Chain A
Amino acid sequence: DAMVIQNPRYQVTQFGKPVTLSCSQTLNHNVMYWYQQKSSQAPKLLFHYYDKDFNNEADTPDNFQSRRPNTSFCFLDIRSPGLGDAAMYLCATRGEASTDTQYFGPGTRLTVL
């Protein structure tokens, strides 16, 4: 029944060691989002895809990259994780209309040692 799936749920990496987080969806939504949420803070949008069109937020560091090989899957790559990148990473999807509900995955909690 899960509609937005994120793997892994918990990821531990070392400082500077690249890491990839994955998101998949069964909703066939054409919009997918990646958010970063640090402890006691609101989710912050990193970037989103509208179909294959990639849209980066202006303040998203270059250290964060994304790939969307097909409608169902989207990846978040952190090229050189720093201690400040430890956070919950949330994937969300949305249907065609901009006012449609966004559905969030359970998140991946990233720890950087």
Chain B
Amino acid sequence: RKEVEQDPGPFNVPEGATVAFNCTYSNSASQSFFWYRQDCRKEPKLLMSVYSSGNEDGRFTAQLNRASQYISLLIRDSKLSDSATYLCVVNGAGAGGTSYGKLTFGQGTILTVHP
């Protein structure tokens, strides 16, 4: 089982649509959770951190369910500029109980928003 698994995608949606991405992680000791966005041939950029209480940033809402080890990202009113690969990222505990901030990435979900 992969440490971080995401919806296979790709998602192809019209402008204005609402789209949801799901992600599960296997390490219950994971400490923090993120959604990164990666444009074609560019570096990953932090979209938002994910908290148990849920958090919202404009059109983007992220949720974390620690009991189910499940993370989600909701994008409302999709824009053409939202087209990118969305990476679910988990910051896990290190070996021997240490924590050095090792990020484990999901394989990414490609989103294409069309006119």
Contacts and interface: CB of A to CB of B under 8 A. Distances in A.
The SS class assigned to the B binding surface is strand
Place the interface of chain B in its size category: 20 to 34
Nearest to B31: A99
A45 B4 CA distance: 14
Contact of B101 (A41, A100, A105): A100
B46 interface: yes
Contact of A90 (B32, B43, B49): B43
Contacts, number: 51
B105 interface: yes
Contacts of A100: 101
A33 B44 CA distance: 14
A42 B100 CA distance: 19
Nearest to A53: B100
A19 to B, nearest CB: 19
A101 B46 contact: yes
B43 A104 contact: yes
B101 A98 contact: yes
Contact of A31 (B34, B41, B100, B106): B100
Interface string A16-42: 000000000000000101000000011
Interface in A28-63: 31, 33, 41-45, 48, 50, 55
Most buried by A among B34, B99, B103: B103
Contacts of B41: 88, 109
A42 B87 contact: yes
Interface of B: 31-32, 34, 41-46, 49, 87, 91, 99-108
